Chain A
Amino acid sequence: MSNMGGYDYLIIGNSAGAVGCIEGLRSVDKSGTMALVSEEECRVYSRALIPYYLGGHIARDRLYYRPLDFYDRAHVGVFNGHRAVKIDTAVRMVKLDDGNSMSYGKLLIAAGGKPFYPPIPGLDKKNVYSFHSMSDVQGIEKELPGVRSAVVLGGGVIGLMAAEVLHGKGIRVHVLELADRLLAPVVDETTSQLVENALRETGVDLYLNNTIGQIHGGERVESITLKDGRTIPCDLLIVGVGVAPRVELAEHAGIQVNRGIVVDKKMQTSVPGIFACGDCASTYNFLTDAVQNMPLWPNAYLGGRVAGYNMAGAEREYTLGTQMNAMHFFDVNIVSAGINVTEANQNDSLDIIKNYDAEKKVYRKFVFSKEGTITGFILVGQIDRAGIFLNLMRRKVDVRGFRKEMFKNSFGYADLPETLRWQLLQDDVILGVV
């Protein structure tokens, strides 16, 4: 047991949050010593690219999120293949699984999330994988040649991406979803329906209001019996029901946790000098004014970036975070952002406009606050320039004067009232006075 040295800045994790921190921090402090500890063996890759790689759209070397020389150029010491097992906040030390320890001046926990496995006996069999890490990729790849029928547990974003990949390989795919519709947490009923249609049209088997009753087989899953009694042959089982924030390190160190590790707008935890970001954290959502777990790539990167600035002493706040998803399933493009208002949670005080063109399969929905600001939106089929809506939402612009215009596919800054338009564009886009 020895001390592997002290660093001004130490990061636990090696993904979006860690990279955001390194890049933010190094734009301020070029000389402070910095290191990261990562349980995974490989250099930083994007887990969000797993579907594209397994689907055959990109080569293996494109899973990597930053070039090979990224850490060297940023002067970051990398300790791959090591798990941090304990944070001792009193002496500012992190203990690793091999008994060694490292001390830090400032610490970032960017430990991400762990795929959640429901308590169904048999999920520990060999041909069961989540869709989350490089080790899943390697495992699934080995299985693929022998798979004729696959079961995907979970009809959320990750489950559906897995289903599309497997379907593309000519595999018979069965998607099981406990809720009565797909993607329920992130989109409304109409959007779910559009996705459901797209899936059914391509021949993916959907089982809503359903889950696994029993798993059959020895070392490997051979078939499953559904809750409703039907039996499906199964050569590969993908568990994609959600990701739980990895908070155990923080919890044991006495850091405040509320689902995720709670941070303030500077991304600092309840213990000064310790920061957190990404899937393991609960961060500020400007629409709900609450601290929430928002496990999304941009949220991890930006949270990490802001943490990096603050760790280096440059004050910054991350105040523009909220739920946002850009998705596509079987070529249906969808974006959703903000609060997901559905028929189930809709009430009379909410002001909603929507427009559905069944023929073109184009759908738009906007939800407004009492003050006329956008609090949520969904676009399906036509997503061009969606960022303008996100910008209006982030800037809390009262859109009552032009909200119908927002149904236009060509909606842009020209459609805004004059004063507002020039207000938003004056500094960055327009030369002179208008």
Chain B
Amino acid sequence: MGRIMAKPEVCMGCHLCEVWCAVAHSKSKHIVKAFLYEVNKPLPRLVVEEKLPLTFALQCRHCAEPDCVAACISGALSKDPESGIVVHDPNQCVGCYSCVLTCPYGNILINPRQRGIIKCDLCAGMDTLYCVSRCPNEALVYVDC
């Protein structure tokens, strides 16, 4: 199980990680189509922390003992024992926001479209970690640990 680490000293605050995260989780997975034509505009699942000149991207840590999973009243959040990924099942989620209250990193994001949340899934089922591979300055690194 690894996780995505940030290098604030080389992050230039371009927000491309957010853009590509949104694209990765869109229907078309196409940067132009996703933002221009999709009914549900794509949403990023990470936050670029910003207080200029400081910027760095922060996404779910897929914690070893995740507080969000412990707090989830519906069982929508779980930690996959094999992959270690903290998975969110939107069909089971009721939008109680217990996880928003308990994630120490503020990495559970409220879905602005309907009562529910969105979070990093480590690009499950995709061929690459979008935020990492599309960062022009290599300010995000996937580290095995």
Contacts and interface: CB of A to CB of B under 8 A. Distances in A.
Q: Is the A/B pair a real complex?
A: yes
B101 to A, nearest CB: 5
A221 B101 CA distance: 40
A429 B110 contact: no
B4 to A, nearest CB: 9
Contacts of B98: 297-298, 326
Contacts of A337: 101
Interface stretch (B19-27, B33-41, B89-97, B120-128): B89-97
Contacts of A390: 101-102, 104
A390 B100 CA distance: 10
A430 B10 CA distance: 12
A394 B107 CA distance: 17
Contacts of A58: 94
Contacts of A46: 73-75
B31 to A, nearest CB: 25
A391 interface: yes
Contact of B141 (A302, A412, A415, A431): A431
B75 A414 contact: no
Given A20-B70, A415-B51, A64 B75 contact: yes
A387 B104 contact: yes
A20 B105 CA distance: 23
Contact of A429 (B54, B61, B67, B71): B61
A218 interface: no
Contacts of B70: 20, 298, 301-302, 305
Given A384-B110, A387-B106, A428-B61, A62 B101 contact: no
Nearest to B75: A65
Contacts of A356: none
Nearest to A418: B54
Nearest to A27: B81
B125 to A, nearest CB: 20
A337 to B, nearest CB: 7
A336 B58 CA distance: 24
A21 interface: no
Q: Which of B7, B50, B105 has the most CB of A within 10 A?
A: B105
A387 B101 contact: yes
Interface string A358-401: 00000000000000000000000001111110110010000000
A387 B105 contact: yes
B108 interface: yes
Contacts of A298: 67, 70-71, 98, 102
Given A428-B61, A434-B9, A335 B94 contact: no
A430 B101 contact: no
Interface residues of A, number: 42
A329 interface: no
Contacts of A387: 67, 99-108
A328 interface: yes
Contacts of B118: none
Interface string A199-225: 000000000000000000000000000
Contacts of A388: 104-106
Contacts of A354: none
A60 interface: no
A57 interface: yes
A263 B9 CA distance: 47
B129 interface: no
B8 interface: yes
B51 A384 contact: no
B12 interface: no
A48 interface: yes
B67 A414 contact: no
B87 interface: no
A414 B50 contact: yes
Given A298-B70, A383-B110, A429-B5, A328 B97 contact: yes
Contacts of B32: none
A52 B94 contact: yes
12 contacts: A66-B75, A337-B101, A386-B106, A387-B102, A387-B104, A387-B107, A388-B105, A391-B104, A412-B106, A414-B50, A429-B56, A431-B141
The 10 lowest CB-CB distance pairs between A and B, nearest first, are: A385-B106, A391-B104, A431-B5, A414-B49, A48-B73, A414-B51, A298-B71, A387-B103, A326-B97, A65-B75
Given A326-B98, A335-B100, A384-B109, 20 more contacts: A46-B75, A48-B74, A49-B73, A49-B74, A62-B91, A297-B73, A297-B98, A384-B100, A384-B106, A387-B104, A390-B104, A394-B104, A414-B50, A414-B51, A414-B54, A415-B51, A428-B3, A429-B5, A429-B105, A434-B8
Interface of B: 3, 5-9, 47, 49-51, 54-56, 58, 61, 67, 70-71, 73-75, 91-92, 94-110, 115, 141, 143
